[in-house]
Structure formats: C-alpha cells, structure tokens
C-alpha cells in the first residue's frame, strides 16, 4: 500500500513515481508515468530499469521528476515509454523458459528510441 511506501520511505522507483503522480493529480496537475533506464556507474556504463514521473506545468510544459533519485531526469535517464500509470508505460515484455537466471542484457541505440531502430 502507498501508506507503507511513504511511512517506510522505501519502495521501487515504480512505486515512487506512482505516488508522485497521485499527489500531482490531487493538486490539479496533469501527470504521467515514464519507464525507461537510468545510467549508473563510471561514465554511465550500466543501465538499470527505472521509472519517474512528469507533470504538466502551465506555461512551461511537461517537467520530469525523479522522486527516487531526488532530481530532475537528465542525460542519465533514457525514456522508453510514457503512460497514465506503470501498466500503461510497460514497454518491455519478456518470456523465459528453462534455467537462465535473473539477469538480462540490454543494449540501446539512438534509433531504438526514435522509432527508427
């Protein structure tokens, strides 16, 4: 539940983004969910699945907010999909069979993000 996430100051990036969106909507701001990756490590060499939110501010437009990182999304954030919530912004589906462990390799190129790749 949201109360456990807030009280414990814990949860996934998905949960933090969902809470931000709910709060923004309560304040009358249109908000949406963004899923993608965040580059971490030396030179941003490692991409991790990540989620953040965007709220529409009159006269400015859509502004990104990463409540988990406590910052606005920057070059380290790679947008994959936008939706009203986490379910609407799920841009990756994966199916596995057999014993392949839990790790996944991800490679992104510029063309992948603009519909050309």
Give the predicted TM-score (pTM) of the model: 0.69
pLDDT tens per residue across span 21-66: 999 999 999 999 999 988 887 776 788 889 999 999 999 999 999 9
Residue 72 backbone phi and psi in degrees, to 5: -80, 145
Mean pLDDT, rounded, for 99-116: 53
Report how far residue 76's alpha carbon sits from residue 106's, in angstroms, rounded to the nearest whole number: 15
Domains and CATH numbers, the chain: 2-91 (3.10.620.30)
Give the largest Cα separation in the chain, rounded: 52
pLDDT tens per residue across span 4-24: 666 766 678 888 899 999 999
Mean pLDDT, rounded, for 74-93: 81
Cβ-Cβ contacts under 8 Å for 69 (sequence gap 6 or more): 38, 52
């Amino acid at each position: 539940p949201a109360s456990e996430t807030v009280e414990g100051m814990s949860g996934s990036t998905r949960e933090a983004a969902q809470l931000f969106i709910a709060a923004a909507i309560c304040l009358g701001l249109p908000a949406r969910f963004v899923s993608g990756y965040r580059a971490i490590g030396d030179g941003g060499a490692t991409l991790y699945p990540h989620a953040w939110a965007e709220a529409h501010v009159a006269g400015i437009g859509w502004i990104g907010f990463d409540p988990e990182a406590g910052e606005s999304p920057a070059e380290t954030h790679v947008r994959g999909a936008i939706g009203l919530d986490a379910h609407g912004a799920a841009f990756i589906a994966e199916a596995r069979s057999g014993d392949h462990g839990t790790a996944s390799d991800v490679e992104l190129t510029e063309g992948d993000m603009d519909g050309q790749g």
